[in-house]
Chains A and B, each alone.
Chain A
Amino acid sequence: MDQSTPTTGQPAADETVDAPTSDRVLGAPLVELNHVNKHFGELHVLQDIDLTVHKGEVLVVIGPSGSGKSTLCRAINRLETIDDGSIAVDGKTLPEEGKALAQLRAEVGMVFQSFNLFAHKTVLDNVTLGPRKVRGMSKKDAEELARTLLDRVGVGNQAGKMPAQLSGGQQQRVAIARALAMQPKVMLFDEPTSALDPEMVNEVLDVMVALAEEGMTMIVVTHEMGFARKAAHRVVFMADGQIVEEAPPEEFFTAPKSERARDFLSKILTH
């Protein structure tokens, strides 16, 4: 069944049961959501969400479209406001607005489905902008940092180009480098491969897997089962604005407990 998922050289299911959560010592709570509610008009998109993500944990959020998973991801750096409840990052509750919010956002990296590279700036400037303008880093240091990160995600030779000259996969890797340049405590990925042509998905997932292996705390909204199996410690399944089920990836994919999850998995795995 898992052979049907598109990710790279994925081991057979029985080999992957190293169940990351159990044998791994997770750090202190880093992102804490408490009774978070949000409405879009009549629609109750986030219903009393409780979720804690620990330092070094890789959490995959999965679920049908409209389940609220993107909203959840975006709420964590307040690109979406919430109606009530609280969200805290590293012990600090999300400020409403202003300087404090900007500061907190600087510590939360965000990777978007549509990349959102600054269209009028070169790849290098995209990555140096945050460190220079938010962190006050010198141009020289920022460029050094940016070049290191661009090399790490494999687009070092594209530094002088404009985003529109790059492929989707390259743009998304630049976007990851741009987020990493802020040295974030946690990285949010909002369907990072959904807008990519199939042949470019793996180059982005490889970067994310490497990042996970280095111990980055990550919250990833994705449909990539291969990535979830390979890198995630925990899978959260959302439907209709609620967290329906959470489990280690292997457990979730082979023996989902809820009917809703079984239904969802059968739909995405049968082809």
Chain B
Amino acid sequence: MNDYLSGLGSLVERYDVLGAFWTNIQLTFWGALIALVLGTVLALMRISPIASLRWVGATYVNILRNTPLTIIMTFMVMGVWTALQLQLADTFESNFFRLAVVGLAVYHAAFVCESIRSGVNTVPLGQAEAARAIGLSFLPAARLIILPQAFRGAIAPLGNTLIALLKNSTVAAAASVSWETASTMKTMIEFNPNYLWGIFAMFALGYVILVIPIGVLTTWLSQRLAVQR
């Protein structure tokens, strides 16, 4: 048993498992940041008074949300980089990393948009009417009155999207980010099949440890920041 654990321990160092997890955390962080900005813009479009903007927002969400992430990631490499020759960074590695971040962001932005929209639905119509009645036009009313309340009502669904994003960051493997967790795990198992169960358990546990605090935090925040009516 001790031999097994110490053997597993040496594998962790040899294959830089912590570094792999760190890569996924970074992918998640940047992906979430861009997805949040893009998703907010999309949500604004979807609730705007301008019909053509609403159409663009709805079309984006329906296409991106219904496309498998693996296809988006593969497209980022084969389509955006290979075919369109769009280079996002000088080094090979950070180029793939950034392509993966963009792929994760454009995909999850659709879910962020819908989460925020569900938050908008928690804001009574009277809030928007009162905002308009004092002379605020759409954007200031959205920025000052609607979105601040909508975000508070959307914390739980946004947390779910973040959890999904963290786990989906392993699909970055499809965008040639070969040093992330899923790829690392596969390599480790390939060359050390006698540690198969231990390696599986280690990676699964790693994600559980990362995800649980997000769930706890968002539940706590959504209760704490709930708008009293």
Contacts and interface: CB of A to CB of B under 8 A. Distances in A.
Interface of A: 77, 79, 97-99, 101-103, 105-110, 112, 114-120, 129-130, 133-134, 162, 164-165, 175, 178-179, 182
Given A103-B135, A164-B229, A182-B135, A116 B126 contact: yes
B131 interface: yes
Contacts of B148: 120
B227 A102 contact: no
B228 A162 contact: yes
Nearest to B225: A120
B137 A118 contact: no
B49 A117 contact: no
B134 A178 contact: yes
B134 A179 contact: yes
B228 A102 contact: no
Contacts of B129: 79, 110, 112, 116
B133 A119 contact: no
Interface string B48-71: 010000000000000000000000
B135 A102 contact: yes
Interface of B: 49, 124, 126-127, 129-137, 140, 144-145, 148-149, 152, 227-229
A110 B133 contact: yes
A132 B153 CA distance: 26
Contacts of B49: 97
A130 B140 CA distance: 11
Given A119-B149, A119-B228, A133-B144, A105 B132 contact: yes
Q: Chain B: interface secondary structure?
A: helix
Contacts of A162: 228
B47 to A, nearest CB: 15
| Most chain B CB neighbours (cut-off 10 Å) among A97, A98, A120, A175 | A120
A189 B57 CA distance: 37
Contacts of B134: 105-106, 110, 129-130, 134, 178-179, 182
A119 B140 contact: no
B204 to A, nearest CB: 40
A105 B141 CA distance: 13
Given A79-B132, A99-B137, A120-B152, 10 more contacts: A98-B137, A105-B133, A110-B130, A116-B129, A116-B130, A119-B229, A129-B134, A130-B135, A134-B135, A182-B135
Contacts of B135: 102-103, 105-107, 130, 134, 182
A118 B229 contact: no
Contacts of B144: 129, 133
Contacts of B227: 119-120
A118 B131 contact: yes
Contact of A102 (B130, B136, B229): B136
A112 B148 CA distance: 22
Contacts of A102: 132, 135-137
Contacts of B145: 118
Contacts of A114: 124, 126
29 contacts: A98-B137, A102-B132, A102-B135, A105-B133, A105-B134, A107-B135, A108-B133, A109-B133, A112-B126, A112-B130, A112-B133, A114-B124, A115-B126, A116-B127, A116-B129, A116-B130, A118-B127, A118-B130, A119-B227, A119-B229, A120-B152, A129-B134, A129-B144, A133-B140, A133-B144, A134-B136, A175-B130, A178-B134, A179-B133
Contacts of A97: 49
B38 to A, nearest CB: 24
Nearest to B228: A164
A129 B131 CA distance: 9
Nearest to B135: A106
A105 B133 CA distance: 6
Nearest to A126: B130
A106 B152 CA distance: 28
